[in-house]
Structure 1
Amino acid sequence: MKYIQAFLIILLILTVIPVNADNQKLAMVAKTRGEVTFRHEDETAFKNTAKAGTILENGDIIKTGKESFVALIFLDDKSQVKLLENCDLEIRGEKIRNQLNKDLSMNFGELKAEISDQRRGEFKISTPTSVASVKGTDFWILSDPRLGDKIIGLSGLVELMNQITGYTVSVGPNQTGLSLTNGNVNVQVTNPNDIPEDIVIDEKELQQLKIQFQNPRGESKNIIIEYR
């Protein structure tokens, strides 16, 4: 019961945090393992340690080390992104009237995205080779700057565009989209051996979760959830 109560409190907090590109709060770190650091847009070094409850701002870049992992929850729609080891991700959001367009950028690594239905705004994840545009779907991105990208569809549809040629394909469940550094794109049946092992977020592993947010008056508040 304590785990359920803690989870409901987190959802309530995510609901009341004001979210837009003006106040810069875009995502929250839900879980980390190993070495996970981040830097703000005006910083050059990854000297900030990311931990559960850390709020990421527009322009932040988060990075995982060897045998490390981080899971993020986006504050406006509860979409989740998981980064496996040796991966980096830049987070940006643009507020246009009543919608928030999210644009993530990674240079290399493996990422799992669980994207909620984007009724208000766009959700894009880009690499040096490709851009994946999604509305509401689960998929993996396996990005290699030398070879290109694999987009492994788990549910829904992903529009995969090669940035070199502009060619676009749709990737559905049980399909893998290949976007190569020579400009070629194609879709094939997914080889199950290509799917990375997912890391399940279990709130029982969290002993303390500290969440910082601002109320409408601009005052900072901390909420600490403890359970065993």
Structure 2
Amino acid sequence: MRNDLKDRLLDAILPHVPFDGWSESAFRRAVEDAGVTPAEARGAFPRGALDAALHFHARGDERMAERLRSEDLSEMRYRDKVAYGVRVRIEIAGEHREAVRRGMTLFALPMHAADGLKAMWGTADAIWDALGDTSDDVNWYTKRATLSGVYGSVVLYWLGDQSEGHRETWEFLDRRIEDVMRIEKVKGRARQSRLFQRLGSMADPLLSRIRAPVRMPRGDLPGYWATPPSGARPPE
């Protein structure tokens, strides 16, 4: 029910964003258009338009993930799957291109930069998750950090791209993915060097402790149940 209210407010604010940005005035107009009380609106989006912008981004991630999971990508190379994930996400964003542009401006502000980086990380995480990434060590973080940078640069390029069918954006995306793959190849060769192996043996005790965060189950219920380890005693 909470998400229904969020979606209702988001749909109401989107027509105002191209003119007023993700602003308080746009949010107030959305509250009126949605026919909800200010208290209900603040309950859904405590920070007003800022939270609405974040929900807009998260909803795009969800739609992208649903589409990727529904398609058969088994015949694609892994690098092409990643590029396709980024492309699908941008195509979904293209439904409200000006809202994306206004969002980039909003999250460029120092007080909202952390929210913007978190949203970008969420997109990278959603892409890797939808593609079936199973890494649970330090690679979990490096994959998402790298893809966050790729996605952010491609979005900025796309916003200024006037080519037919955004052809230049997709070419730019392919180049960025190729850069990432080239870096991975260099890292692979470096790991085989004696110097790297010596340094790696020193860092292994620390890196081996790095694990991906525990995944919360999908759903809208608070908390989650984790099976206790064998032999564990219940709390007294």
Work out which structure has the larger RCO, using CA pairs closer than 8 Å and 6 or more positions apart in sequence.
2
Pair member with larger Rg: 2
TM over 0.5: no
Q: TM-score, normalised by structure 1?
A: 0.25
Q: TM-score, normalised by structure 2?
A: 0.24
